[in-house]
């Protein structure tokens, strides 16, 4: 904790990634989006983090078999217990509790933030939930879907050279749809690109996709679906994200997902991702979770009623968690609570064009949502936009406003397209 003379009077808890298993100490060095204890401490907050009750292992969820209490800790109990204890320690150390308590996390940390709002609405006054892995079981299925699609008919795997080919073709088709040709797609939902248009007409070569590769790409975009009912299990990647597909398009799926099915669902150390049935297997997955890890409850009324504010952000080029998942959850809250008018005073979603998972990417990907959250919660100034920046070699070379969904940044027609001041947030 900072010394009394430099404490800002507030508490900021920070989240985890993946299966957790380690405390987010971090460093105080500048980061695209600071989510570590060191960063919070540098800004004057009292702070804490938790490993959620287990240590990181090679196989992320190997702690789970035979230990349902550890899975419950990972799901939500560890964060809640940490928060209650932290506030007590802060009160004892400073002689008073924090004036405001905040959560800051991305990925698993985003899921943890939404979980706190849903199950423990009294824990935080404001929450930053970045790229949340909140539909955990179906996210795991979506990752395996991509791996199966890439390996169904070898050589279906799309090598890096072909991913670049695909990405360049997508940009040629859709980059200029927003009126600005800058290598970033402002709203990928408007992009209708068919990867089969790149299929080789004759022999395979570096300038075309095989039919298996084109089909794999098509399934990456479509997302996981039940083969019997056609029901969407989890949304797919969006056009523009292709350069980050290696985690699911590589030789193995992202280990987080394989570990979930191996250790939590099937409890079989020899389970192979190629065996997952997207009908019966997903039904078993949902039954096994039974609402434990999934943080999909749209009823945030208790959190909002206390004055709680929630800022959620997600990169459109996220290569691990579909950005459409964030839109789906935000829309479910609107539907549950009676529409956007009843939600936007407490909850805003910001989609970041060109940003990958929790940062990085070709678009403006560095932002400070905590400052916007504090102004909202403490001064009643709702964020009409959040300025994001792109940095090359330590120098800011472009800025762009991130707009509250469903608004998008629209070029005003004059001024540099690398300057946020040249754009306005408007509803499409």
Q: Which residues are catalytic?
A: 107, 318, 357
Q: Which ranges in 358-406 belong to alpha helices (H)?
A: 369-379
Is the Cβ–Cβ distance between 222 and 236 less than 8 Å? yes
Cα–Cα distance, 358 to 34 (Å, whole number): 10
Q: Which ranges in 4-120 belong to alpha helices (H)?
A: 37-42, 68-72, 78-94, 108-119
Contacts of 300 (CB under 8 A, 6+ apart): 117, 118, 121, 308, 310, 333, 337, 346, 347
Cα–Cα distance, 324 to 211 (Å, whole number): 26
As a whole number of Å, the end-to-end CA separation of the chain is: 45
SS3 (DSSP) at 313: strand
Q: Is 428 exposed, middle or buried (0-12, 13-18, 19+ CB in 10 A)?
A: exposed
Place of tokens 């065996």: 275
């Amino acid at each position: 904790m900072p010394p009394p003379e430099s404490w800002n009077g507030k508490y900021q808890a920070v989240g985890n990634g993946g299966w957790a298993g380690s405390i987010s100490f971090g460093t105080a060095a500048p980061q695209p989006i600071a989510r570590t204890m060191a960063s919070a401490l540098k800004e004057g907050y009292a702070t804490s983090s938790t490993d959620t009750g287990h240590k990181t292992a090679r196989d992320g969820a190997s702690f789970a078999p035979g230990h349902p209490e550890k899975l419950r800790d990972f799901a939500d109990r560890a964060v809640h217990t940490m928060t209650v204890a932290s506030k007590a320690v802060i009160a004892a150390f400073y002689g008073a509790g924090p004036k405001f308590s905040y959560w800051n996390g991305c990925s698993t940390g985003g899921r943890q933030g939404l979980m706190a709002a849903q199950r423990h609405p009294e824990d935080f006054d404001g929450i930053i939930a970045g790229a949340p892995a909140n539909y955990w079981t179906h996210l795991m299925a979506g990752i395996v879907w991509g791996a199966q699609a890439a390996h169904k008919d070898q050589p279906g795997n799309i090598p890096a050279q072909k991913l670049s080919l695909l990405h360049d073709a997508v940009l040629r088709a859709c980059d200029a749809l927003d009126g600005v040709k800058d290598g970033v797609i402002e709203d990928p939902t408007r992009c209708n690109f068919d990867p089969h248009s790149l299929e080789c007409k004759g022999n395979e070569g570096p300038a075309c996709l095989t039919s298996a590769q084109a089909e794999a790409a098509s399934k990456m975009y479509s997302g996981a679906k039940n083969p019997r009912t056609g029901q969407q299990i989890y949304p797919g990647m969006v056009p523009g994200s292709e350069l980050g597909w290696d985690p699911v398009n590589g030789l193995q799926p992202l280990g987080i997902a394989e570990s979930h099915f191996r250790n939590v669902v099937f409890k079989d150390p020899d389970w192979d991702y190629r065996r997952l049935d997207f009908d019966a297997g997903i039904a078993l997955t949902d039954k096994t979770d039974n609402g434990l890890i999934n943080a999909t409850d749209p009823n945030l009324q208790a959190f909002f009623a206390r004055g709680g504010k929630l800022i959620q952000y997600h990169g459109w080029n996220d290569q691990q968690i579909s950005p459409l998942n964030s839109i789906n959850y935000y829309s479910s809250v609107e539907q549950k609570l009676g529409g956007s008018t009843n939600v936007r005073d407490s909850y805003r979603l910001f989609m970041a064009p060109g940003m990958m998972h929790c940062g990085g990417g070709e678009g403006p990907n560095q932002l400070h949502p905590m400052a916007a959250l504090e102004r909202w919660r403490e001064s009643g100034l709702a964020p009409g936009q959040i300025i994001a920046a792109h940095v090359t070699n330590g120098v800011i070379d472009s800025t762009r406003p991130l707009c509250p969904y469903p608004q998008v940044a629209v070029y005003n027609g004059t001024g540099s397209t690398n300057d946020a001041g040249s754009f306005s947030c408007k509803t499409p």
